[in-house]
Chain A
Amino acid sequence: GESVGLHLPTLSVQEGDNSIINCAYSNSASDYFIWYKQESGKGPQFIIDIRSNMDKRQGQRVTVLLNKTVKHLSLQIAATQPGDSAVYFCAEMNDYKLSFGAGTTVTVRA
């Protein structure tokens, strides 16, 4: 079946460095993608989204890149801070339904 997946289940980053979280998707019909952040004890929080007619979108300290040729999505976090420690999920939308990956746990080292 088709699924959304992340390349690595965990990522350890030095505070102040940039983080890159990767995601591979397999449904070429997906037209909308979202990154969520989930902190311990909380629900997924919307970070940034991107439509399939774009290949890059920037937010505050975050950038999402979409490569439709290889069905790859990434989230870049600039100057990673301790508060960025969380589980990050990518999600793809097809026919209004979201499919989620298993998540990458990001740990920021002081």
Chain B
Amino acid sequence: ETGVTQTPRHLVMGMTNKKSLKCEQHLGHNAMYWYKQSAKKPLELMFVYNFKEQTENNSVPSRFSPECPNSSHLFLHLHTLQPEDSALYLCASSLGRVSNQPQHFGDGTRLSIL
């Protein structure tokens, strides 16, 4: 059982819909991350939160809006997405914004934009 849980596992939405992805970690970590994984491409870092504060926004379009209410929960709010946003969205957590510590991933949300 993974220590990082993502819901939903699959999501199909139209371009005008609003939806949210949820991530919860049970590892006692302080840093959480959103990544985008597209076919045949390396994982792309989107956002980083450390102790609930956003420390990184990797030039992500504003149609993606993250929220981190506490160190255990992370959301990604979606609005007016484009077909090229279809991908696997992965959440990860780590002990903190430090080096030499692995990130642990959830199983992702497979997002399809119609």
Contact = CB atoms under 8 A, between A and B. Distances in A.
Nearest to A35: B102
A78 interface: no
A83 B81 CA distance: 36
B99 A43 contact: no
A45 interface: yes
A11 interface: no
B107 A41 contact: yes
Contacts of B42: 3-4, 89, 99-103
Q: Is the interface of B mostly helix, strand, loop or mixed?
A: loop
A100 B99 contact: no
Contact of B102 (A34, A97, A99, A101): A34
B100 A43 contact: no
A46 B4 CA distance: 13
A95 interface: yes
A32 B104 contact: no
B90 A44 contact: yes
Given A32-B99, A43-B4, A43-B90, A89 B43 contact: yes
Interface of B: 2, 4, 6, 40-43, 45, 48, 56, 90, 92, 97-100, 102-108
